A and B are shown apart, each in its own frame.
Chain A
Amino acid sequence: MGKSTVTTKDDAHALFHSLRAAYSATPTNLKIIDLYVMFAVFTALIQVGYMAIVGSFPFNSFLSGVLSCVGTAVLAVCLRIQVNKENKEFKDLPPERAFADFVLCNLVLHLVIMNFLG
């Protein structure tokens, strides 16, 4: 019995270490994108928590704030997919083109948010 718990703990440690090792092998630009996505999701969670406390009074402002975070995260994820060299599907797409699409989409997103923010 003691042996099985030690084994599970060992397994968890081993899993965590292998994940960490694999992740540290990713290129720097992808890690930057990941950081950006984490920031956006974290901001979205804070806003949802605030709305749960205070209530949804200016609902349009709430939607605008959450949408800006979620939209940013989605666009960043799309950029990561398109720029990742290990992704066979987007082998022929130049990363500059992917970044340009990303910038344009973000401009449209922020235009919409500024209008909807009230």
Chain B
Amino acid sequence: MAKISIATVFMALISLLLTLTHSFSTENPTDRRILVLLDDLALKSSHSIFFNSLQSRGFELDFKLSDDPKIALQRYGQYLYDGLILFSPTTERFGGSLDVAAVLDFVDSGKDLIVAADASASDLIRSIAAECGVDFDEDPSAVVIDHGSYAVSGTEGDHTLIAADDFIKSDVLLGSTKIEAPVLFKGIGHSLNPTNSLVLKVLSASPSAYSANPKSKLSTPPSLSGSSISLVSVVQARNNARAVFSGSLDLFSNKFFKSPVQKVGSSNKYAKSGNEQFVTELSKWVFHERGHLKAVNVKHHKVGETDEPAIYRINDDLEYSVEIYEWSGSSWEPYVANDVQVQFYMMSPYVLKTMSTDKKGLYHASFKVPDVYGVFQFKVEYQRLGYTSLSLAKQIPVRPFRHNEYERFIPTAFPYYGASFSTMAAFFIFSFVYLYSK
């Protein structure tokens, strides 16, 4: 009995060691192991182009049925996967120990998520999305219908197959190559809270879209309509975990990847839809192959010196520098931008300067310490759409002048100096005159 248990413990520790060496680390931010939960194993073949493209980029995909009782995201407190793909819109309950709270903890720990809903999305998927700020249409039978922007097909459809081309303008999210062809979409729409700064609409519906049941007549105006319907959104959490929420599982399917598309009303016929490019670029972003920044080597020193002092004096001239790199998928490349700012902050920024770069990742700024003493911080707060947020703070005290650092003679006080000495001289002369006058 003891021998068997020792052997199992040993094997478990060995496998844990193996998983640890292959997991996400700060030196290599691209996710490696991804758990894919499907509600139907046929999805493995019907979405094979997407999965093969992920595997060819170096990801290890672990396919499981969503009600498999052996599903476990973490073991012994360590996460086994760096990313989670939920292609299981109809699943009411996950197998194993996975539930909404476990998925949210996964995202809270910094890992990434792709969730695809569909026309029959379950409450489980809807609540995961709602917790992340994405509100799917509450009507369970509603899908997105667009009579002005549907994809022309051979059969007279009910216009639920939409050709969407209203992309977010961001090279970080969607790559630098423009997606020419519209993206085919068939599924449910969701809305985002406009005050939420962490969620972004990547693919919006056209102004003529609305979310309703295609089989029944509309009795009331639909709750979701127009461009406020988002078809695909992304969430970048404050801990830089990234999630993609799509209202259509077919967006990722081989059928949509390969099919030609023509939007109604436009004469452009594209032989291939934009789905494959869209999904590939978005997956590169969500799994941290693009737009992941790191800031290292924060340095500050007085102008003319090289080592960092422990304290500055007011009205000193100092220089601050930081190196920012962007992960390119395989290596750290210098990040080039002209809007990185550094603040010299104590309750409010006394100095706010835009840093200049030498295009090799080094950003520097030099400024004069303000005429206020106290404990300041060098703060760099950098949040740009699609990039990880940088939040650096380095504390440094600032002292006032020592008593021997003031100027010895104040020029504006020369008249007073003169007056005092002149009264002394006058006293001296007066006493002579007074005593020696008869």
Contact = CB atoms under 8 A, between A and B. Distances in A.
Nearest to B416: A65
Given A28-B437, A99-B434, A110 B424 contact: yes
A84 interface: no
A106 B420 CA distance: 12
A23 B404 CA distance: 53
Contact of A69 (B410, B413, B419, B433): B419
A47 B426 CA distance: 16
A61 B431 contact: no
A106 to B, nearest CB: 5
A105 B54 CA distance: 96
B427 A106 contact: yes
A75 B413 CA distance: 25
A42 to B, nearest CB: 10
A43 B422 contact: yes
Nearest to A28: B437
B415 interface: yes
A62 B427 contact: no
Given A32-B437, A65-B419, A99-B434, A118 B426 contact: no
A14 interface: no
Interface residues of A, number: 32
Interface string B417-431: 101101110110011
Contacts of A29: 434, 437
Contacts of A118: 410, 413
B435 interface: yes
A90 interface: no
A113 B438 CA distance: 32
B416 A58 contact: yes
A54 interface: yes
Contacts of B434: 29, 32-33, 99
B420 A68 contact: yes
A118 B430 CA distance: 26
B412 interface: yes
A59 B424 CA distance: 20
A15 interface: no
A40 B416 CA distance: 13
Contacts of A114: 420
A72 interface: yes
Given A43-B423, A103-B431, A54 B437 contact: no
Contacts of B422: 43
B430 A58 contact: no
Nearest to A36: B430
Contact of A61 (B413, B423, B430, B435): B413
Interface in A46-68: 46-47, 50, 54, 57-58, 61-62, 64-66, 68
A31 to B, nearest CB: 10
B405 to A, nearest CB: 14
Nearest to A33: B434
A47 B415 contact: yes
A117 interface: yes
Given A58-B410, A58-B412, A110-B424, A43 B431 contact: no
B415 to A, nearest CB: 5
A39 interface: yes
**Most chain A CB atoms below 10 A, which of B420, B427, B430, B431:** B420
A67 B36 CA distance: 88
Interface in A92-118: 99, 103, 106, 110, 113-114, 117-118
Interface in B346-383: none
Contacts of A39: 426
B420 A64 contact: yes
B423 to A, nearest CB: 5
Given A32-B433, A72-B426, A62 B420 contact: no
A36 B432 CA distance: 12
A57 B426 contact: no
Given A39-B426, A40-B426, A68-B423, A58 B413 contact: yes
Given A65-B417, A65-B420, A117-B417, 19 more contacts: A28-B437, A29-B437, A36-B430, A43-B422, A57-B410, A61-B413, A61-B417, A62-B416, A64-B420, A65-B419, A66-B419, A72-B427, A99-B431, A103-B431, A110-B420, A110-B424, A117-B416, A117-B420, A118-B413
Interface of B: 410, 412-413, 415-417, 419-420, 422-424, 426-427, 430-431, 433-435, 437-438
22 contacts: A29-B434, A32-B434, A32-B437, A39-B426, A43-B423, A44-B419, A47-B416, A50-B415, A54-B412, A57-B412, A58-B416, A61-B416, A65-B417, A66-B416, A66-B419, A68-B420, A68-B424, A69-B419, A99-B431, A103-B431, A110-B423, A110-B424
